[in-house]
Each structure stands twice: as C-alpha cells, then as structure tokens.
Structure 1
Amino acid sequence: MMKPLKLFCFPYAGGSAYSYNDWNGWFHKSIQLIPIELSGRGSRFEDSLYDNFDEAVQDLYVQIKPHLDGTPFAFFGHSMGSLLSFELARLLIQNNDRTPELLFFSGCTAPHKVKREKLLHTLDDREFLEEIKKMEGTPSDFFQNDELMAFYLPILRNDFRIVEQYVYKEMDVRFPCSIMILHGSEEKGMEGVKEWGKFTCKRSSIHVFPGGHFFIHKEAQQVARRINNTLLSIISAKIQQGVNNYA
C-alpha cells in the first residue's frame, strides 16, 4: 500500500499552522500536508516565544523527528519559513537523517544574500505596524481590534527579531535534492532569489506568481497546484522506479 509523501509547511513571521488551512483541499491524496506550529501561537499559544533563530530550528527538528519514518517528504516555507526550512534541512544533513525529496523556498532571498536595510523589530509600535501594513499580509480587521493587537503584536515583533538577528553560516555541502523557488512578481530582489540555486547539487527552478510578498494568499490555489503537481511528478517517478513506500 502506498504511503503518502509528507509535505511539512513552515509559516512566515506572525503566522501559524493555520496559515496553510486553505491548502487541505488542494492536494492529491498521495500527499499528506503537515503544517508545523511554532511556539507561542495556535495550539502552542501557552509556550514561550523563541529566544533566537537556532532555538526555533531545534524546536522544529524535535517536532518533525517522529515523522521521519522512512516515508519521503518535502519542505515548504514562506519568508521566515523559508529560512527555517533551510536551516532545518541543513540540520538533517548534519545529523545524518533522511533529507527532503524537494525544498520549496517562497518569498525569501537566499540566506547568504539577505540585507537588512531597516531593523523592524526595533521600531516603536506605530512604526512597526505601519511596516506590517505595507506587506499586505495581515487582514485590515487586525489593526482595528485592540485585543488581537495585544495578543499578536509581541509574536510578530519577536519573529521579526529572530529573523533580523539571524546570521548565515557558510554551508560546506549542497542539498542532495532539487530546489523550487516561488516569488511574487511585484517583489524586488530577484538577483538574490536566484542565489538559492547554489545550495543544490541538482536542479533549481524559479516560479513567479502575480502579487507582492504575500502572493501565497492571493494566488493560494495556483501556488498549491504548482506544489501538488511537482510532488506528484516525484511520486510518479518513484513508482516507476519501484522505490519502497511507493510501489
């Protein structure tokens, strides 16, 4: 009996496992969607926020480790989620664990090309929220609800802090899997996006969708369809090869 390929999804700053809730109906039954919850939100709202980026990566490793049962899997991350999945995939290599079949990096410049023109987490609340509004990823109702603001603002600010304090460390090996990069047509930094390809010894490709940083919301179904079809092609190839868990 065929076991589904697992797709672990990592959220952007301020996001949660719920951020991928709409995707559930858009994937083939041979793909198991596993949204990962970050500490301090969603079902883990009572847990402490992360002190630093490395702590977040270690926490994610603990979460996915029980799922690494020999079944093939892939990672998807958007923005902060891309950096998290990148460092998590690198940790898997360091620990001699099984690595993903494919890495999807969305809405993020390659880690060695990230430039911090402004440290948003150091801004006062008014300036910080103005910057968040510009990204157009937060419902307008959020900014009118004092209770929501009081709850989510510390989460947002802390996520930006750990990302803006993240420091890329030279990687001496390349991922043994292909990389697919997703990017919004209205976003800048395409040169930095292309640099993701340097981290794989296999194929890399870039797919551009209409919109800005949060194209994954406005073009959610098209994004999910692209990921679904790409993973189905991997599954099909493995079935033809008679690979365990697929034949």
Structure 2
Amino acid sequence: MQLFLLHFAGGNCYSYDFLRNDLKSKIDFYALELPGRGKRYKENLLLSKEDAIMDYVKQIKNLRNKTPYIIFGHSMGAILGFSVANHMEKEGDPPVSLVVSGHSGPRIKEKDQEEDNTKKKKYHLMNDRDFKERLRKMGGMPDEILENSELYNFFAPVLRADFAILEKGKSPENKVKIDSSIYAIMGDQEKNVENIENWKEFTKSGFRSQILKGNHFFINNHSKKIANIITNCFEQVLTNQ
C-alpha cells in the first residue's frame, strides 16, 4: 500500500519524517515536494495552483504500483491534495481515501481575513514585517528563523511562493466532489475548527473527522494518532474488498 504526503506551505520532503516510525511497515511512505526546496532546491519555484497540482499528479503517477493508496496533506497540502485526488480519479486511478489536516476545506475563508480589514491583503504580497507577524501567528516557524535575517531571506521566497499558489487565480475545487472518502483532522485551537464538517460537502463517499489538541501545527504532537488514522483508512478498504 502507498501513502503520498503533500507538505504545508514552506514545507518539503522532510516535513513528515516524524510520522515514519509510527506507520506500519506494510505502508510505503512517499513524502512528495514541490520544486525549489529540499531535494528539488535547484528547480524554479512554482507560483500557480494548477502547476503545483499537476506537479504532484505527475509525481504520483510515476510512483504508482497498482496497490491501494492514500493521499495525506496538511494545510496547503490538504487543499492541493483534494484537487490532486480529483485529477487522479479522472486518470482512472483514484485514492482509496483522502486524509486532510489543518484545513477546513474549500469555500471557507480564514477568520482573520473576515474580521480584520488590515489582513485582507494577500500574504504573499505583504511587507516583511507583516509577513513575519503572520508566520508567528500560524506557528510552525521558529523565532530563530524569523529573527535571523540570513535564515529568513533563505526561507521567505519559498513561503511567499507557496502562499501565491494558494492566493492567486481561481479555486476550481470549490465546485468539485470526489468519489474517494475524506477523513478530516484539525487542531482544537485552529481558527476555523468549527467548520471541519465542511469537508463532508466535497465527497460522494464516506466522511469522518477528528479534532486533536493543538494549534495549526498540532500534527507534530500527534504522530501516533495520525498514523493510526491513516492505517485505519487502509484497513477499512481492505476489509471491504
């Protein structure tokens, strides 16, 4: 069985290393990454959602072995993962399940954008001061990086490119329903956690959800629980075969 993991904004192929040891050996672990980071740091960054989606689709198609597979994505990886799953369905090779984390799904705007007019500016266009403040509120970015100009200047272009992917152009996923089941996970301190059931509107199959303790990067503190969720999604499919 195969597990394809799609990283969050600013992430790379190493972002899910914390999950490896808690997954069963029967599951092949493929942490994918977009260009411009990690093992692909020499490649040009992508700036459009469609390009990012098709890059992931190409990677998955090249790695497929005809066994059941799951797509897991956190935050940016969740919303891109939804479109990737839709594309793979059109290719006749759908995932058995889509596990989405740290995102309440299509059509839901972030609360801070709705409540504060100063936050309506797109994140990838913010000046460095506002961008750093946004990253601090999100969590997951150590202060050592934000306060060190050399480190910040290294990571900032990747982060801005990823936010551009999310913020530019249309959102085709808003009108899509996939055949694969969806399992949604969020942290209880996330701003849109009450909208987690929104994901139910985007699947023609089964839907389950779970809320765990923590902020937007709650995943780092719940590796065993997340591994169990993924494993159970696989086992449910095998039981029904």
The match for 1:244 is none
* TM superposition score normalised by structure 1: 0.87
Name the aligned partner's letter for residue 89 of structure 1: A
2:153 to 131, 150, 155: 150
Q: 2:3 aligns with which of 4, 7, 31?
A: 7
Residue 171 of structure 1 and its aligned partner are, at CA, apart by: 6.4
1:228 deviates by 2.5
- Structure 2 counterpart of 1:98, from 93, 111, 117: 93
Partner deviation per Cα, 1:122-145 (whole Å, 9 max, x = no partner) = 210111011101111112322243
User: How many equivalent residue pairs?
Assistant: 233
User: What is residue 63 of structure 1 aligned with on the other side?
Assistant: 59
Structure 1 counterpart of 2:98, one-letter code: L
Instruction: Tell me if structure 2 keeps the 8 A contact 1:103–1:179.
Output: yes
Sequence identity, in percent?
A: 33
Q: In 2, distance between residues paired with 1:207 and 1:166?
A: 31
In structure 2, C-alpha distance between the alignment counterparts of 1:50 and 1:186, rounded to whole Å: 30
Query: What is the CA distance between 1:173 and its match in structure 2?
Result: 5.9
Which amino acid counterpart does residue 184 of structure 2 have in structure 1?
Answer: I
- The correspondence of residues 1-247 of structure 1 with structure 2, limited to 5 A, is 5-94=1-90, 96-115=91-110, 117=113, 118=120, 119-169=122-172, 174-235=177-238, 237=239, 241=241
CA positional deviation for 1:51 = 2.4
Q: Distance in 2 between matches of 1:120 and 1:204?
A: 31
- Cα separation, 1, equivalents of 2:169 and 2:71: 20
Shift of the alpha carbon at 1:46? Answer: 0.6
Contact 2:6–2:32 at 8 Å: present in 1 too?
Answer: yes
In the aligned structure 2, how far is the partner of 1:28 from the partner of 1:204? 23
Q: Kindly report the root-mean-square deviation, in angstroms, between the aligned alpha carbons of the 2 structures.
A: 1.9
The separation in 1 between residues aligned to 2:37 and 2:7, in whole angstroms, is: 11
CA contact (8 A) 2:69 2:95 kept: yes
The 8 Å contact of residues 47 and 164 in structure 2, kept in 1 or not, is answered as: no
1:72 Cα deviation from its structure 2 partner: 1.0
Instruction: Give unpaired runs (5+ residues) of structure 1.
Output: 242-247
- Tell me whether 206-215 or 115-124 shows the greater mean CA deviation: 115-124
Query: 1:170, 1:49 → 2: CA distance?
Result: 22
- Equivalent pair of 1:114/1:192 in contact (CA under 8 Å): no
Rate the CA distance shift 1:172–1:132 in 2: closer, same or farther, 3 A. closer
Choose 130-139 or 161-170, whichever is displaced more. Answer: 161-170
Displacement of 1:160 in angstroms is 0.9
Q: Which amino acid aligns with 1:188?
A: K
State the alpha-carbon separation in 2 of the partners of residues 78 and 170 from structure 1.
16
1:191 Cα deviation (Å)? 4.7
Q: State the alpha-carbon separation in 1 of the partners of residues 165 and 87 from structure 2.
A: 18
Q: Deviations over 1:132-166 (max 9, x none)?
A: 01111112322243332111111011111211225
- Secondary structure of the residue aligned to 1:84 is helix
Q: For residues 154 and 211 of structure 2, what CA distance do their matches in structure 1 show?
A: 34
Shift of 1:225: 2.8
Counterpart AA for 2:185: L
Secondary structure of 1:18's aligned partner: coil
**CA distance in 2 between partners of 1:142 and 1:172 (Å):** 38
